[in-house]
Amino acid sequence: MFDEKGFIQTVESKISKKAVKHGIKTVFILFIFSLVCCGVSTKVDLDPDSRDFYETARLIMTKQEKKIFAHLPDEESRKEFIKDFWEKRNPDSETEENEFREEFYRRIEYANARFKEGMPGWKTDRGRIYIYFGAPDQVDMRPMLSLTDEMGRIREARGYLVWSYYRYGFAILFLDKRGDGSYVFDPYYGIGGDFFNALERARFGLPPKTQDLEKKFLDFDLEYNKEKKEILISIPVNTLTFVSEDDLLKADFDFKFFVYRKKNTEKQSFRESRHFEMPEEKVVKLENIEFAFSFPELGPGNYYVDVVVIGKPDIGRARKIFEIKVRNSVSQLVS
């Protein structure tokens, strides 16, 4: 459970950190800004629809997705990418309505209306956090705050806000440095709790860990076997919920694969459903359950393998992007 009171007390303590830690903290600050900022440009001229999509959707794109999108050469391939992009984040693929996409654009509209600070609201610090996580569970406002940075310098703010997200387990601090209602993220004291995990889940359209526990996040790993021409998905048993029937534990899964070759517009995709059942006394001895999928041989090169796994009933969904390097007869999983 995130301790909001403790976080605020820490912020207000004004305790200077040792200068030796300054370099480490700077790296942390730059990493934070790389997560919440979206200043990555594409390498090709975009058609109007693709430009409108990328302008805001890059907020929730992974690094790999940005690279893939940057290498798509024409409007047709980008339209296919956009369709796949929202489909991967659709909480219910069996309905035409995509609640995640609708909520994403609703939050942009709200941010533009609510956080006017001399720029579109979705580009402000508060606007971006709101787009990722929605409305905070609690807002604390203080009229005046003075902070000491790690070099011992006094930094004075005219006011600050603390947004607490209990459902995600973190809080974030915004400072009004000019006294005009323009609040910016504070890079020195600005985060308490598990922000990184929360941001990753929000980008993938996954619920907080404390929300809908029956739909908890699935974990899985991937291997590509060049000799057998197959992809192997391994899912830890302790992340699964089974249906028990006739002394058997059962579960069903939908798998979606999108395979991109780096620096190339080539794309392969396929979808398969798999059923799992096994006596309970055997399942409890397993660490993972594995599913193998036949796949055409990948030639030498670097690939992104984008995988969506949906577990039924009510097991949840997960999505990961892996990078695979194929060198003649050897394949190497990079991430």
Each residue of 265-301: pLDDT tens digit?
667 888 999 999 999 999 999 999 999 999 877 888 8
Chain centroid offset of residue 93 CA:
19
Name the pLDDT band for 12 (thresholds 50, 70, 90).
Answer: very low
Assess whether 257 and 324 both reside in one domain: yes
Residue 275 domain-assigned (yes or no):
yes
Q: What CATH number should be reported for the domain holding residue 255? A: 2.60.40.10
What is the predicted pLDDT for the residue at 272?
Answer: 95
Do 142 and 241 lie in a common domain?
A: no
> Alpha helices of the chain — where are they, by DSSP H?
4-12, 22-36, 48-57, 63-70, 75-88, 99-114, 125-133, 195-203, 280-283
Residues 149 and 237 in one domain: no
Q: What is the pLDDT of residue 76?
A: 84
Where residue 22 falls among pLDDT bands split at 50, 70, 90? very low
Q: Among 175, 203, 231, which residue terminates a domain?
A: 203
- HSE-up of 291 (CA within 13 Å, CB side)? 20
β-pair partners for 293: 231
Asked whether residue 266 is domain-assigned, the answer is yes
Residue 5, number of CB atoms within 10 A of its CB: 9
Q: In the prediction, which pLDDT does 306 show?
A: 85
pTM of structure: 0.66
Instruction: Quote the distance between the C-alpha of residue 50 and its chain's center.
Output: 21
How far apart, in Å, do the first and last CA atoms of the chain sit? 30
Q: Do the domain assignments include residue 159?
A: yes
Identify the pLDDT of residue 153.
64
How many domains, in total, are found in the chain? Answer: 2
Long-range contacts of 287-290 (CB under 8 A, 24+ apart): 287/236, 287/237, 288/234, 288/235, 288/236, 288/237, 289/234, 289/235, 289/237, 289/240, 290/232, 290/233, 290/234, 290/235
Tens-place pLDDT, residues 34-81:
455 554 455 557 899 999 999 999 999 988 788 878 877 788 888 988
C-alpha distances (whole Å) from 4 to each of 16, 158, 185 are 21, 21, 17
Domain membership of residue 167 (yes or no) is yes
Range of the domain at 253: 213-333
Q: Per-residue pLDDT averaged across 11-29, rounded?
A: 36
Same structural domain, 146 and 235: no
Q: Is the separation of the CB atoms in 201 and 208 below 8 Å?
A: yes
Cβ burial of 297 (10 Å; 0-12, 13-18, 19+) is: exposed
Q: What is the pLDDT of residues 189-229, one digit of tens each?
A: 677 888 888 888 888 777 776 544 344 457 899 998 888 88
Q: What is the mean pLDDT of the chain?
A: 79
pLDDT above 70 coverage of the chain, percent: 76
Instruction: Tell me, yes or no, whether 11 and 132 share the same domain.
Output: yes
Higher-confidence residue: 170 or 74? 170
Write down the residue that tokens 């971006």 correspond to: 128
- Asked if residue 316 and residue 176 are part of one domain, the reply reads no
pLDDT of residue 20: 27
Residue 163 lies in a domain: yes
Residues 26, 125: one domain?
Answer: yes
Q: Do 219 and 187 share a domain, yes or no?
A: no
Q: From 153, 175, 203, give the residue that closes a domain.
A: 203
Range with lowest mean pLDDT among 177-181, 214-218, 310-314: 214-218
Same domain? For 144 and 222 the reply is no
Domain final residue, candidates 174, 203, 232: 203
Q: In which band, very low, low, confident or very high, does the pLDDT at 23 lie, cut at 50, 70 and 90?
A: very low
Among residues 122, 120, 112, 55, the alpha carbon closest in space to that of 82 is found at 55
Q: Is 275 exposed, middle or buried (0-12, 13-18, 19+ CB in 10 A)?
A: exposed
Indicate if 33 and 174 belong to the same structural domain. Answer: yes
Is 208 part of any domain? no
User: Looking at the domain assignment, is residue 119 inside a domain?
Assistant: yes
pLDDT value at residue 195: 86
Asked if residue 140 and residue 271 are part of one domain, the reply reads no
Residues 30 and 166 in one domain: yes
The answer on pLDDT for 150 being more than 70 is no
Does residue 197 lie in a domain region?
yes
| Residues 254-258, mean pLDDT to the nearest whole number | 90
- Residue-level pLDDT at 330: 56
